[in-house]
Amino acid sequence: MNITSEIYKKVTEYLNNEIPLSQLENWLLPNLGQILNLPPCSARDLAGDIELGLAEISNSQRTESEFRAMMRDLIGSSDIVILDEAISPYSI
């Protein structure tokens, strides 16, 4: 799975309560440089929004519930398709 798809997958897992916020943050931090080096795209914007939201939570400017609502709005406004990497592009 490429990094662009993976960030949406991680946020979706967080929104579905499959992973806690700390796990989303632990995944994002080592991958942030790679994501921010992408050409302008929604995944790069999403990473920036996550980073800002996490900083706001740590500064008590936003609650986790507010962060979750923000992520739902951002994911809901994106047209994304995540394919399982086991699917061959030739079998579609």
What span, in angstroms and rounded, lies between the C-alpha atoms of 3 and 46? 12
This model's pTM is above 0.75: yes
**Tell me, what's the pLDDT at 43?**
94
| Residue 39: partners with Cβ closer than 8 Å, 6 or more residues away | none
Question: What's the pLDDT tens digit per position in 47-62?
Answer: 999 999 999 999 999 9
Domain boundaries, the chain: 3-76
Higher-scoring residue by pLDDT: 9, 77: 9
Average pLDDT of the chain is 87
pLDDT digits (tens, 9 = 90+) for 3-27: 999 999 999 999 999 999 999 999 9
CA distance 59 to 62: 8
Residue type (1 letter), 82: I
